[in-house]
């Protein structure tokens, strides 16, 4: 019974943390311009992930995507992060117990770590940092178990035989330490920051290992075995990387990831921060109460100076590295510091409990001790509601399904055999649907982030008379081509090319002497991300307008109250009116996001106005009930 009770906290932590991450998990693709979308496509296809390749993550994530029978490929990639994150929470509890923490403080510290804003955010989306945190804690656990075996061999419990058994176990755990470091480096280079504190800890614990090179053979061999996973990368060279640069950089340049050193040498993003900014990020994870409760944890220095030094140096080196690594999302690189903080928190709460133990042992203080135990459990649980709105990627629907709906919308509005040119993230979204769900395999995607490359790709395809689309405004595009809306995309035509348009409603409404509205239609769209109204307008150009104007598309309820509004330059901001050509007709579109519970749509308003002054130029209204 005691053994079963001792196992209850890890089981409870696994169930609670995994359950929390599962209900707040992103249900599908939810980003465009970060690594998560790349990983959601790379895992099911075994494509090569950006440098350094992350081979351990690639293989484990591929297995998870193939074996988990839930959701789409993106959801399963997200769930892999949740599994790794929940495993790390359990491992943090185990490491805290090895440091001498009592069960209840270790449980509270693990729960506080589990709901830390940065950690929680990495547990609900496809990313590499949940697995990195898990591997970091595996390394710490292995080091502490090795240390215990060394202590047992020195004491020689039950005589010489126990001493020999302790030395054998110590060698086995040291080999596992080497293996766990290899696993860490087969995943992420943050593992390198753990090596100096770990080596100091090992040689401080067993100085004689310096004179016993044979002992190191097994750990070194175990260290290199996981690194062989990097050689799975050239085996996937026929798949390549999503941006196509693997063939240019090559294997060694890829796995060494030298391009990231620019963030240590220079400041390409113009990041401004100091150590205090980083400490504020760390403080946000546990709050002032968590900071104060961790302070008694430094008492471990007197009882276990080697363990204290190991943890302190890991946190300090991570903090110093983060202060020099000038990337925008530095918070994820502080996860080793967050882990150390949580461990000190567990030890600190234990020290506080031991200080109060004489009082708690008296009968009069038994209710107080129970109350304190209840507080340790409720403390992290009571923080969840305040953090849930920010961390819940499953809600609201607009946040959870908006990117998914955008990807489908792009494909639905392209002609057969069309080409779409856009940024890498936008093209990765379309490729996700093509390669994981087999949709619109006829579409050619051309990823080009620099504007000149996008313009050249568009020019090439228009000259070949291929239906050509782009995703956003582009310098020089409106001057060279005629443009119109195709759902959320911009359709590119040769200048002044004749196009056929079919809108449900014809109208003759001169807005200015230069342009008239000659057709319109509205489409109520019931999307997973929520209801939306697409307003399509057909402009006739009599003469080139003298000045640019913006269009405000609005839909009103029966009482005249506005329900939704979208203000843009025509054709998704890509085709300003002064670039229009006399005699052409232009299909324009505006997407209005409607409230989840909305009154019946009553009236459509189209207002042209001066973007500099806001002065209205012209207005056209239509009763939607006619």
Question: What is the pLDDT averaged over residues 19-46?
Answer: 96
Residue 234 has pLDDT above 80, yes or no: yes
Question: What is the pLDDT averaged over residues 67-82?
Answer: 96
Residue 106: burial class (beta carbons within 10 Å; 0-12, 13-18, 19+) = buried
What is the structure's pLDDT at 516? 95
Q: Are residues 366 and 408 in the same domain?
A: no
Q: Are residues 343 and 465 in the same domain?
A: no
Confidence of residue 359 (pLDDT cuts 50, 70, 90): low
Q: Tell me whether residue 8 is in a domain.
A: no
Helices (H) and strands (E) in the chain, counts: 23, 13
* Distance between CA atoms of residues 29 and 40, nearest Å: 7
Residue 389 has pLDDT above 80, yes or no: yes
* Distance between CA atoms of residues 573 and 614, nearest Å: 17
Question: What is the pLDDT averaged over residues 1-24?
Answer: 80
Q: Are residues 138 and 211 in the same domain?
A: yes
Torsion angle (degrees, nearest 10) of CA 137, 392, 107, 341: 50
Last residue in a domain, options 356, 391, 426 = 391
Strand partners, 68: none
Residue 165: burial class (beta carbons within 10 Å; 0-12, 13-18, 19+) = middle
Total domain count, the chain:
2
Sort residue 593 into left (φ over 0), alpha (ψ -120 to 50) or beta.
beta
* Distance between CA atoms of residues 522 and 511, nearest Å: 19
Residue 87 has pLDDT above 90, yes or no: yes
Torsion angle (degrees, nearest 10) of CA 200, 202, 204, 209: -120
604: number of Cβ within 10 Å: 20
User: Percent of the chain scored above 70 by pLDDT?
Assistant: 94
Q: List pLDDT tens digits, range 194-218.
A: 999 999 999 999 888 877 878 889 9
- 3 state SS of 559: coil
* Distance between CA atoms of residues 125 and 77, nearest Å: 8
What is the structure's pLDDT at 496? 79
Q: Which domain holds residue 567?
A: 398-623
Q: Tell me whether residue 260 is in a domain.
A: no
Q: Tell me the pTM.
A: 0.92
What is the full DSSP assignment across 344-382?
HHHHHHHHHHHHHHHHHTSGGGHHHHHHHHHHHHHHHHH
Last residue in a domain, options 358, 391, 424 = 391
Q: How long, in residues, is the chain?
A: 626
Give me the sign of the Cα torsion angle 544, 549, 555, 561.
negative
What is the structure's pLDDT at 1? 33
What is the structure's pLDDT at 393? 96
Confidence of residue 162 (pLDDT cuts 50, 70, 90): very low
Q: Tell me whether residue 454 is in a domain.
A: yes
Last residue in a domain, options 391, 413, 442 = 391
Closest by CA position to 409, among listed 433, 373, 383: 433
Residues 6+ apart with CB under 8 A from 488: 406, 409, 410, 413, 471, 572, 589, 591
Q: List pLDDT tens digits, range 511-570.
A: 899 999 999 999 999 999 999 999 999 999 999 999 999 999 999 988 888 899 999 999
Sort residue 379 into left (φ over 0), alpha (ψ -120 to 50) or beta.
alpha
| Cβ proximity of 537 and 484 under 8 Å | no
Q: Are residues 78 and 47 in the same domain?
A: yes
Closest by CA position to 322, among listed 256, 264, 280: 264
- 3 state SS of 506: strand
Q: Are residues 322 and 453 in the same domain?
A: no
Please give the angle made by the CA atoms of 496, 568 and 443, to the nearest 5 degrees.
60
Q: Are residues 205 and 318 in the same domain?
A: yes
Q: Tell me whether residue 13 is in a domain.
A: no
Strand partners, 540: 516, 585
Q: Tell me whether residue 253 is in a domain.
A: no
| Cβ proximity of 617 and 511 under 8 Å | yes
| Cβ proximity of 493 and 482 under 8 Å | yes
Q: Are residues 355 and 503 in the same domain?
A: no
Q: Are residues 377 and 480 in the same domain?
A: no
Q: List pLDDT tens digits, range 490-522.
A: 999 999 787 888 777 899 999 899 999 999 999
Question: What is the pLDDT averaged over residues 119-132?
Answer: 97
Question: What is the pLDDT averaged over residues 349-377?
Answer: 72
Q: Are residues 382 and 411 in the same domain?
A: no
Q: Tell me whether residue 263 is in a domain.
A: no
Q: Tell me whether residue 543 is in a domain.
A: yes
What is the structure's pLDDT at 159? 42
CA 34, chain centre distance (Å) = 7
Q: At what angle do helices 129-155 and 73-98 cross, to 10 degrees?
A: 30
* Distance between CA atoms of residues 176 and 173, nearest Å: 5
What is the structure's pLDDT at 561? 87
Q: Are residues 609 and 489 in the same domain?
A: yes
Q: Are residues 331 and 435 in the same domain?
A: no
Question: What is the pLDDT averaged over residues 222-251?
Answer: 93
Residue 86 has pLDDT above 50, yes or no: yes
Q: Are residues 379 and 408 in the same domain?
A: no
Q: Tell me whether residue 255 is in a domain.
A: no
What is the full DSSP assignment across 272-337?
---HHHHHHHHHHHHHHHHHHHHGGGGGHHHH-HHHHHHHHHHHHHHHHHHHH---TTGGGGGHHH
């Amino acid at each position: 019974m005691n053994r079963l009770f001792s196992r209850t906290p890890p089981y409870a932590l696994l169930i609670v943390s995994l359950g929390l991450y599962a209900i707040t998990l992103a249900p599908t693709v939810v980003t465009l311009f970060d690594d998560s979308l790349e990983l959601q496509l790379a895992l099911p296809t075994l494509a090569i992930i950006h440098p350094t390749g992350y081979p351990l993550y690639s293989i484990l994530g591929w297995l998870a995507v193939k074996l988990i029978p839930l959701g789409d490929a993106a959801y399963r990639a997200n769930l892999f992060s949740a599994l790794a994150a929940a495993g790390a929470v359990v491992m943090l509890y185990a490491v805290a117990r090895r440091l001498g923490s009592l069960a209840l403080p270790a449980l509270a510290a693990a729960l506080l770590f589990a709901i830390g804003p940065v950690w929680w955010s990495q547990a609900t989306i496809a990313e590499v940092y949940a697995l990195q945190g898990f591997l970091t804690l595996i390394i710490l656990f292995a080091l502490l178990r090795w240390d215990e075996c060394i202590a047992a061999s020195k004491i020689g419990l039950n005589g010489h035989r126990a001493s020999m058994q302790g030395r054998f176990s110590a060698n086995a755990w040291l080999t596992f330490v080497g293996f766990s470091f290899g696993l860490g480096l087969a995943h992420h280079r943050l593992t390198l920051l753990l090596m100096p504190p770990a080596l100091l800890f090992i040689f401080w614990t067993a100085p004689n290992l310096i004179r016993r090179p044979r002992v190191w053979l097994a750990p070194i061999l175990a260290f290199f075995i996981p690194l062989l996973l990097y050689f799975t990368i050239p085996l996937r060279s026929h798949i390549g990387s999503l941006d196509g640069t693997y063939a240019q950089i090559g294997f060694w340049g890829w796995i060494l990831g030298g391009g990231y050193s620019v963030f240590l040498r220079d400041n390409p993003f113009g990041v401004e921060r100091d150590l205090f900014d980083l400490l504020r990020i760390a403080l946000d994870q546990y709050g002032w109460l968590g900071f104060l409760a961790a302070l008694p944890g430094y008492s471990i220095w007197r009882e276990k100076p080697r363990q204290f030094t190991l943890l302190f140096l890991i946190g300090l080196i991570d903090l110093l590295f983060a202060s020099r690594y000038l990337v925008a999302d530095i918070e994820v690189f502080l996860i080793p510091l967050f882990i150390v903080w949580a461990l000190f928190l567990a030890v600190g709460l234990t020290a506080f409990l031991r200080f109060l133990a004489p009082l708690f042992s008296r009968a009069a203080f038994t209710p107080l001790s129970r109350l304190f135990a209840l507080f340790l459990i409720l403390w992290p649980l009571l923080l969840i509601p305040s953090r849930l709105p920010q961390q819940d990627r499953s809600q609201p629907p607009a946040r959870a399904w908006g990117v998914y709906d955008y990807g489908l919308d792009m494909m639905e509005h392209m002609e057969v055999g069309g080409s779409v040119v856009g940024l890498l993230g936008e093209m990765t979204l379309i490729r996700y649907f093509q390669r994981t769900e087999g949709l619109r395999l006829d579409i050619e995607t051309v990823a080009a982030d620099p504007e000149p490359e996008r313009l050249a790709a568009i020019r090439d395809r228009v000259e070949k008379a291929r239906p050509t689309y782009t995703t956003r405004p582009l310098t020089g595009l409106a001057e060279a081509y005629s443009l119109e809306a195709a759902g959320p995309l911009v359709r590119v035509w040769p200048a002044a090319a004749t196009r056929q348009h079919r809108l449900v409603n014809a109208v003759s409404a001169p807005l200015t002497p230069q342009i008239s509205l000659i057709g319109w239609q509205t489409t109520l769209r019931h999307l997973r991300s929520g209801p939306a109204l697409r307003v399509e307008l057909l402009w006739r150009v009599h003469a080139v307008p003298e000045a640019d104007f913006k269009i405000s598309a609005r839909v009103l309820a029966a009482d005249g109250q506005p329900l939704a509004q979208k203000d843009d330059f025509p054709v998704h901001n890509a085709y300003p009116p002064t670039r229009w050509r006399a005699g052409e007709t232009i299909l324009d579109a505006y997407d209005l996001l409607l409230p989840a519970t909305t009154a019946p749509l009553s009236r459509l308003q189209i207002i042209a106005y001066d973007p500099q002054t806001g002065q209205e130029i012209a207005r056209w209204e239509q009763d939607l009930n006619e």
